[in-house]
Amino acid sequence: MSTTNRSITLNSDVKMPALGLGVFLSPAEQTAGIVSTAIQHGYRLVDTAAAYLNERAVGEGIRNSGVPRSELFITTKLWPGQYGYDDAMRGFEGSLSRLGLNYIDLYLLHWPVPTDFAATIQSYRAIEKLRADGRIRAIGVCNFMPQHLQKLQEETGLVPALNQIELNPFYTQPETLAENARLGIVTQAWAPIGGTYLRNRNAVTNGSDSPLTHPLVIELARKYGKTPAQIVIRWHLDHGFSAIPKSVRSERIIENFDVFDFTLTPEEIARIDALNTGVRAGADPETFTAATYPINVDAQ
Ligand SMILES: NC(=O)c1ccc[n+]([C@@H]2O[C@H](COP(=O)([O-])OP(=O)(O)OC[C@H]3O[C@@H](n4cnc5c(N)ncnc54)[C@H](OP(=O)(O)O)[C@@H]3O)[C@@H](O)[C@H]2O)c1
Protein backbone atom coordinates (compact mmCIF):
# COMPACT_ATOMS: atom_id res chain seq x y z
CA MET A 1 0.00 0.00 0.00
CA SER A 2 1.42 3.39 -0.97
CA THR A 3 1.28 6.24 1.50
CA THR A 4 2.42 8.83 -1.04
CA ASN A 5 1.05 10.21 -4.28
CA ARG A 6 2.08 7.69 -6.94
CA SER A 7 3.80 9.05 -10.01
CA ILE A 8 2.76 8.02 -13.50
CA THR A 9 5.32 7.90 -16.32
CA LEU A 10 4.03 9.40 -19.57
CA ASN A 11 5.09 8.14 -23.02
CA SER A 12 7.58 11.03 -23.24
CA ASP A 13 9.25 9.59 -20.10
CA VAL A 14 8.01 12.57 -18.09
CA LYS A 15 6.79 11.69 -14.59
CA MET A 16 3.46 13.13 -13.42
CA PRO A 17 1.82 12.88 -9.98
CA ALA A 18 -1.32 10.73 -10.20
CA LEU A 19 -3.50 13.00 -8.04
CA GLY A 20 -3.79 16.74 -8.53
CA LEU A 21 -6.01 19.78 -8.05
CA GLY A 22 -8.48 20.98 -10.71
CA VAL A 23 -9.49 24.65 -10.80
CA PHE A 24 -12.39 24.80 -13.27
CA LEU A 25 -14.95 27.26 -11.83
CA SER A 26 -12.55 28.31 -9.09
CA PRO A 27 -13.15 32.06 -8.98
CA ALA A 28 -9.98 33.96 -9.94
CA GLU A 29 -10.01 35.90 -6.64
CA GLN A 30 -9.93 32.67 -4.60
CA THR A 31 -7.64 30.63 -6.82
CA ALA A 32 -4.21 31.90 -5.70
CA GLY A 33 -5.04 30.99 -2.09
CA ILE A 34 -6.51 27.61 -3.07
CA VAL A 35 -3.46 26.68 -5.12
CA SER A 36 -1.02 27.67 -2.34
CA THR A 37 -3.05 25.74 0.23
CA ALA A 38 -3.11 22.64 -1.96
CA ILE A 39 0.63 22.75 -2.62
CA GLN A 40 1.39 23.30 1.06
CA HIS A 41 -0.68 20.18 1.84
CA GLY A 42 1.19 17.95 -0.61
CA TYR A 43 -0.36 18.51 -4.03
CA ARG A 44 2.20 18.89 -6.82
CA LEU A 45 -0.10 18.79 -9.87
CA VAL A 46 -2.42 21.70 -10.74
CA ASP A 47 -4.78 21.55 -13.73
CA THR A 48 -5.97 24.84 -15.24
CA ALA A 49 -6.89 26.07 -18.74
CA ALA A 50 -6.92 29.30 -20.70
CA ALA A 51 -10.71 28.99 -20.69
CA TYR A 52 -10.92 28.92 -16.86
CA LEU A 53 -9.82 32.57 -16.81
CA ASN A 54 -7.75 31.97 -13.67
CA GLU A 55 -4.24 31.22 -14.99
CA ARG A 56 -2.84 34.45 -13.48
CA ALA A 57 -4.14 33.43 -10.07
CA VAL A 58 -2.74 29.91 -10.47
CA GLY A 59 0.67 31.46 -11.20
CA GLU A 60 0.39 33.64 -8.11
CA GLY A 61 -0.54 30.62 -5.98
CA ILE A 62 2.46 28.72 -7.31
CA ARG A 63 4.83 31.59 -6.48
CA ASN A 64 3.31 32.05 -3.01
CA SER A 65 3.48 28.34 -2.17
CA GLY A 66 7.18 28.33 -1.31
CA VAL A 67 7.69 25.08 -3.25
CA PRO A 68 10.26 25.22 -6.08
CA ARG A 69 8.84 25.27 -9.59
CA SER A 70 10.88 22.17 -10.48
CA GLU A 71 8.87 20.12 -7.95
CA LEU A 72 5.52 21.12 -9.45
CA PHE A 73 3.62 19.75 -12.43
CA ILE A 74 1.47 22.39 -14.14
CA THR A 75 -1.12 21.58 -16.79
CA THR A 76 -2.95 24.10 -18.94
CA LYS A 77 -5.05 23.83 -22.09
CA LEU A 78 -5.53 25.45 -25.47
CA TRP A 79 -9.11 26.55 -26.13
CA PRO A 80 -10.72 25.66 -29.53
CA GLY A 81 -11.29 29.39 -30.19
CA GLN A 82 -7.48 29.51 -30.64
CA TYR A 83 -7.09 26.44 -32.86
CA GLY A 84 -4.97 26.56 -36.03
CA TYR A 85 -1.14 26.55 -36.15
CA ASP A 86 -0.43 30.26 -35.58
CA ASP A 87 -3.33 30.83 -33.21
CA ALA A 88 -2.22 27.84 -31.13
CA MET A 89 1.27 29.32 -30.84
CA ARG A 90 -0.25 32.61 -29.67
CA GLY A 91 -2.59 30.77 -27.29
CA PHE A 92 0.36 29.00 -25.68
CA GLU A 93 2.32 32.25 -25.24
CA GLY A 94 -0.74 33.83 -23.60
CA SER A 95 -1.07 30.99 -21.08
CA LEU A 96 2.65 30.98 -20.30
CA SER A 97 2.67 34.72 -19.73
CA ARG A 98 -0.48 34.71 -17.56
CA LEU A 99 0.93 31.86 -15.46
CA GLY A 100 4.27 33.68 -15.20
CA LEU A 101 6.16 30.48 -16.08
CA ASN A 102 8.85 29.70 -18.61
CA TYR A 103 7.66 26.17 -19.43
CA ILE A 104 4.51 24.06 -19.09
CA ASP A 105 4.68 20.47 -17.87
CA LEU A 106 1.61 19.26 -19.74
CA TYR A 107 -0.22 21.17 -22.46
CA LEU A 108 -3.56 19.81 -23.69
CA LEU A 109 -5.92 20.47 -26.57
CA HIS A 110 -9.09 21.23 -24.60
CA TRP A 111 -11.57 19.51 -26.97
CA PRO A 112 -11.56 17.88 -30.38
CA VAL A 113 -13.49 19.89 -32.97
CA PRO A 114 -14.74 17.10 -35.26
CA THR A 115 -16.46 19.49 -37.69
CA ASP A 116 -13.10 21.17 -38.37
CA PHE A 117 -10.64 18.47 -37.48
CA ALA A 118 -7.98 20.02 -39.73
CA ALA A 119 -7.69 22.89 -37.23
CA THR A 120 -7.41 20.41 -34.36
CA ILE A 121 -4.56 18.70 -36.24
CA GLN A 122 -2.80 21.99 -37.00
CA SER A 123 -3.00 22.92 -33.31
CA TYR A 124 -1.52 19.57 -32.34
CA ARG A 125 1.35 20.10 -34.80
CA ALA A 126 2.00 23.52 -33.24
CA ILE A 127 2.15 22.20 -29.71
CA GLU A 128 4.35 19.29 -30.84
CA LYS A 129 6.80 21.92 -32.16
CA LEU A 130 6.68 23.68 -28.77
CA ARG A 131 7.41 20.34 -27.10
CA ALA A 132 10.35 19.69 -29.44
CA ASP A 133 11.65 23.18 -28.59
CA GLY A 134 11.57 22.32 -24.87
CA ARG A 135 8.81 24.75 -23.90
CA ILE A 136 6.36 21.98 -23.00
CA ARG A 137 7.44 18.74 -21.32
CA ALA A 138 4.50 16.60 -22.48
CA ILE A 139 1.47 17.09 -24.71
CA GLY A 140 -1.94 15.57 -24.65
CA VAL A 141 -5.60 15.97 -25.46
CA CYS A 142 -8.90 16.14 -23.66
CA ASN A 143 -12.22 14.58 -24.55
CA PHE A 144 -10.87 12.57 -27.48
CA MET A 145 -13.00 9.53 -28.31
CA PRO A 146 -11.36 6.50 -30.01
CA GLN A 147 -12.14 7.81 -33.50
CA HIS A 148 -10.46 11.15 -32.72
CA LEU A 149 -7.32 9.43 -31.37
CA GLN A 150 -7.16 7.23 -34.46
CA LYS A 151 -7.56 10.18 -36.84
CA LEU A 152 -4.89 12.17 -34.99
CA GLN A 153 -2.49 9.24 -35.23
CA GLU A 154 -3.27 8.64 -38.92
CA GLU A 155 -2.65 12.27 -39.82
CA THR A 156 0.36 13.07 -37.61
CA GLY A 157 1.87 9.69 -36.70
CA LEU A 158 1.81 10.99 -33.10
CA VAL A 159 0.28 9.56 -29.94
CA PRO A 160 -0.60 11.98 -27.13
CA ALA A 161 0.88 11.32 -23.69
CA LEU A 162 -2.47 11.70 -21.96
CA ASN A 163 -6.22 11.91 -22.64
CA GLN A 164 -8.21 13.83 -20.03
CA ILE A 165 -11.83 12.65 -20.15
CA GLU A 166 -15.08 12.87 -18.20
CA LEU A 167 -14.74 9.85 -15.93
CA ASN A 168 -16.36 8.83 -12.67
CA PRO A 169 -18.36 5.84 -11.38
CA PHE A 170 -21.50 6.97 -13.23
CA TYR A 171 -19.69 7.41 -16.56
CA THR A 172 -16.74 5.10 -17.15
CA GLN A 173 -16.19 5.26 -20.95
CA PRO A 174 -14.90 1.67 -21.41
CA GLU A 175 -14.23 2.10 -25.15
CA THR A 176 -12.09 5.20 -24.64
CA LEU A 177 -10.25 3.56 -21.72
CA ALA A 178 -9.47 0.56 -23.94
CA GLU A 179 -8.20 2.77 -26.76
CA ASN A 180 -6.07 4.85 -24.37
CA ALA A 181 -4.57 1.62 -22.99
CA ARG A 182 -3.98 0.17 -26.48
CA LEU A 183 -2.06 3.28 -27.51
CA GLY A 184 -0.17 3.68 -24.19
CA ILE A 185 -2.01 6.92 -23.39
CA VAL A 186 -2.49 7.80 -19.70
CA THR A 187 -6.12 8.35 -18.73
CA GLN A 188 -6.81 11.38 -16.55
CA ALA A 189 -10.28 11.83 -15.08
CA TRP A 190 -12.11 15.14 -15.11
CA ALA A 191 -15.24 15.43 -12.96
CA PRO A 192 -13.61 12.53 -11.07
CA ILE A 193 -16.01 12.78 -8.12
CA GLY A 194 -18.99 13.71 -10.27
CA GLY A 195 -18.86 17.51 -10.44
CA THR A 196 -20.92 17.32 -13.66
CA TYR A 197 -23.94 16.01 -11.72
CA LEU A 198 -23.92 19.11 -9.53
CA ARG A 199 -23.83 21.36 -12.62
CA ASN A 200 -26.29 19.39 -14.78
CA ARG A 201 -29.34 18.37 -12.79
CA ASN A 202 -30.86 16.74 -15.91
CA ALA A 203 -28.00 14.27 -16.21
CA VAL A 204 -28.74 10.55 -16.15
CA THR A 205 -27.57 9.18 -12.80
CA ASN A 206 -27.57 5.80 -11.13
CA GLY A 207 -30.26 6.10 -8.47
CA SER A 208 -28.77 9.04 -6.51
CA ASP A 209 -27.86 12.64 -7.25
CA SER A 210 -24.15 11.97 -7.67
CA PRO A 211 -21.58 9.21 -7.08
CA LEU A 212 -20.90 10.75 -3.64
CA THR A 213 -24.43 9.97 -2.44
CA HIS A 214 -24.71 6.50 -3.95
CA PRO A 215 -25.43 3.79 -1.30
CA LEU A 216 -22.51 1.61 -2.46
CA VAL A 217 -20.03 4.48 -2.10
CA ILE A 218 -21.47 5.34 1.32
CA GLU A 219 -21.23 1.66 2.39
CA LEU A 220 -17.53 1.57 1.41
CA ALA A 221 -16.89 4.91 3.10
CA ARG A 222 -18.23 3.42 6.37
CA LYS A 223 -16.17 0.26 5.93
CA TYR A 224 -12.88 2.16 5.46
CA GLY A 225 -13.62 5.11 7.79
CA LYS A 226 -13.25 7.42 4.79
CA THR A 227 -15.54 9.93 3.06
CA PRO A 228 -17.45 9.18 -0.18
CA ALA A 229 -15.10 11.51 -2.10
CA GLN A 230 -12.08 9.62 -0.78
CA ILE A 231 -13.61 6.28 -1.87
CA VAL A 232 -14.23 7.57 -5.39
CA ILE A 233 -10.73 9.10 -5.66
CA ARG A 234 -9.25 5.81 -4.45
CA TRP A 235 -11.26 3.98 -7.13
CA HIS A 236 -9.53 6.14 -9.78
CA LEU A 237 -6.08 5.56 -8.33
CA ASP A 238 -6.64 1.82 -7.93
CA HIS A 239 -7.56 1.69 -11.63
CA GLY A 240 -4.28 3.48 -12.48
CA PHE A 241 -6.02 6.68 -13.62
CA SER A 242 -4.85 10.16 -12.80
CA ALA A 243 -7.53 12.34 -11.16
CA ILE A 244 -7.83 16.09 -10.59
CA PRO A 245 -10.71 16.76 -8.17
CA LYS A 246 -11.62 20.42 -7.75
CA SER A 247 -12.58 22.21 -4.55
CA VAL A 248 -12.43 25.78 -3.34
CA ARG A 249 -12.64 24.67 0.32
CA SER A 250 -9.42 24.02 2.23
CA GLU A 251 -10.91 21.18 4.27
CA ARG A 252 -12.03 19.36 1.12
CA ILE A 253 -8.72 19.98 -0.64
CA ILE A 254 -6.99 18.29 2.31
CA GLU A 255 -9.64 15.51 2.47
CA ASN A 256 -9.32 14.73 -1.25
CA PHE A 257 -5.56 14.18 -0.83
CA ASP A 258 -5.87 11.93 2.23
CA VAL A 259 -6.30 8.76 0.19
CA PHE A 260 -2.92 7.07 0.36
CA ASP A 261 -3.47 4.86 3.42
CA PHE A 262 -5.96 2.34 1.98
CA THR A 263 -6.90 0.51 -1.21
CA LEU A 264 -10.16 -1.00 -2.45
CA THR A 265 -10.38 -4.73 -3.20
CA PRO A 266 -10.77 -5.91 -6.82
CA GLU A 267 -14.38 -6.91 -6.00
CA GLU A 268 -15.16 -3.44 -4.62
CA ILE A 269 -13.60 -1.82 -7.69
CA ALA A 270 -15.77 -4.03 -9.93
CA ARG A 271 -18.91 -3.16 -7.95
CA ILE A 272 -18.18 0.56 -8.44
CA ASP A 273 -17.46 -0.04 -12.15
CA ALA A 274 -20.95 -1.53 -12.44
CA LEU A 275 -22.52 1.86 -11.56
CA ASN A 276 -21.74 3.11 -15.11
CA THR A 277 -24.84 4.54 -16.79
CA GLY A 278 -23.13 4.79 -20.18
CA VAL A 279 -24.49 8.35 -20.50
CA ARG A 280 -22.29 11.42 -20.24
CA ALA A 281 -23.31 14.42 -18.13
CA GLY A 282 -20.89 16.87 -19.76
CA ALA A 283 -20.67 18.20 -23.33
CA ASP A 284 -20.52 15.80 -26.28
CA PRO A 285 -17.06 15.78 -27.93
CA GLU A 286 -18.58 14.68 -31.25
CA THR A 287 -20.48 17.96 -31.65
CA PHE A 288 -18.11 20.29 -29.78
CA THR A 289 -17.03 23.64 -31.27
CA ALA A 290 -15.64 26.84 -29.75
CA ALA A 291 -19.24 28.13 -29.74
CA THR A 292 -20.39 25.37 -27.36
CA TYR A 293 -19.11 27.59 -24.54
CA PRO A 294 -18.61 31.15 -25.82
CA ILE A 295 -15.51 32.10 -23.84
CA ASN A 296 -13.27 34.96 -24.95
CA VAL A 297 -9.89 33.75 -23.75
CA ASP A 298 -8.14 36.68 -25.47
CA ALA A 299 -9.97 39.22 -23.33
CA GLN A 300 -8.38 38.17 -20.00
N1 LIG B 1 -10.81 18.85 -19.98
C2 LIG B 1 -12.04 19.19 -19.76
O3 LIG B 1 -12.84 19.35 -20.69
C4 LIG B 1 -12.48 19.42 -18.35
C5 LIG B 1 -13.84 19.63 -18.09
C6 LIG B 1 -14.22 19.85 -16.76
C7 LIG B 1 -13.27 19.81 -15.76
N8 LIG B 1 -11.95 19.62 -16.06
C9 LIG B 1 -10.90 19.60 -15.00
O10 LIG B 1 -11.23 18.60 -14.04
C11 LIG B 1 -11.31 19.19 -12.75
C12 LIG B 1 -12.29 18.45 -11.89
O13 LIG B 1 -13.55 18.33 -12.50
P14 LIG B 1 -14.84 19.11 -12.01
O15 LIG B 1 -14.43 20.35 -11.33
O16 LIG B 1 -15.74 19.18 -13.17
O17 LIG B 1 -15.56 18.11 -10.99
P18 LIG B 1 -15.16 17.30 -9.67
O19 LIG B 1 -13.79 17.55 -9.27
O20 LIG B 1 -15.62 15.90 -9.89
O21 LIG B 1 -16.18 17.91 -8.60
C22 LIG B 1 -16.05 19.21 -8.12
C23 LIG B 1 -17.29 19.49 -7.25
O24 LIG B 1 -17.29 18.64 -6.10
C25 LIG B 1 -17.27 19.43 -4.92
N26 LIG B 1 -16.35 18.74 -3.99
C27 LIG B 1 -14.99 18.75 -4.01
N28 LIG B 1 -14.49 17.98 -3.05
C29 LIG B 1 -15.55 17.46 -2.36
C30 LIG B 1 -15.67 16.60 -1.25
N31 LIG B 1 -14.59 16.11 -0.65
N32 LIG B 1 -16.92 16.28 -0.83
C33 LIG B 1 -18.01 16.78 -1.45
N34 LIG B 1 -17.97 17.59 -2.52
C35 LIG B 1 -16.74 17.94 -2.97
C36 LIG B 1 -16.79 20.80 -5.33
O37 LIG B 1 -17.38 21.81 -4.54
P38 LIG B 1 -16.48 22.91 -3.72
O39 LIG B 1 -15.55 23.55 -4.72
O40 LIG B 1 -17.51 23.84 -3.19
O41 LIG B 1 -15.77 22.13 -2.67
C42 LIG B 1 -17.32 20.91 -6.76
O43 LIG B 1 -18.67 21.32 -6.77
C44 LIG B 1 -11.72 20.63 -13.06
O45 LIG B 1 -11.55 21.50 -11.98
C46 LIG B 1 -10.81 20.93 -14.23
O47 LIG B 1 -9.50 21.18 -13.79
C48 LIG B 1 -11.55 19.41 -17.35
Q: Distance, CA 99 to ligand 1 centroid (Å)? A: 21
Q: How far is CA 31 from the centre of its chain?
A: 17
Q: Which ranges of the chain does DSSP label H, i.e. alpha helix?
A: 28-40, 55-65, 85-99, 117-132, 146-156, 174-183, 195-199, 215-224, 228-239, 250-257, 266-273
- CATH T-level assignment (fold) for domain 7-202+236-261: TIM Barrel (3.20.20)
Cα(289)–Cα(79) distance, integer angstroms: 10
How many angstroms separate the CA atoms of 45 and 18, rounded? 8
Quick one: what percent of the chain has pLDDT higher than 70?
99
Question: How confident is the model at residue 5, as a pLDDT?
Answer: 81
Q: What residues contact residue 20 under an 8 Å CB cut-off, 6+ apart?
A: 43, 44, 45, 46, 47, 73, 75, 242, 243, 244
What would the pLDDT profile of 109-156 be if each residue is shown by its tens digit? 999 999 999 999 999 999 999 999 999 999 999 999 999 999 999 999
Q: What separation in Å is there between the alpha carbon of 233 and the centre of ligand 1?
A: 12
Q: Is 91 in the pocket of ligand 1 (CB under 6 A)?
A: no
The separation between the first and the last C-alpha atoms of the chain, rounded to the nearest angstrom, is 44
Q: Which residues of the chain have pLDDT under 50?
A: 1
Tell me the domain boundaries of the chain: 7-202+236-261
- Catalytic, 52? Answer yes
DSSP class of residue 185 equals: P
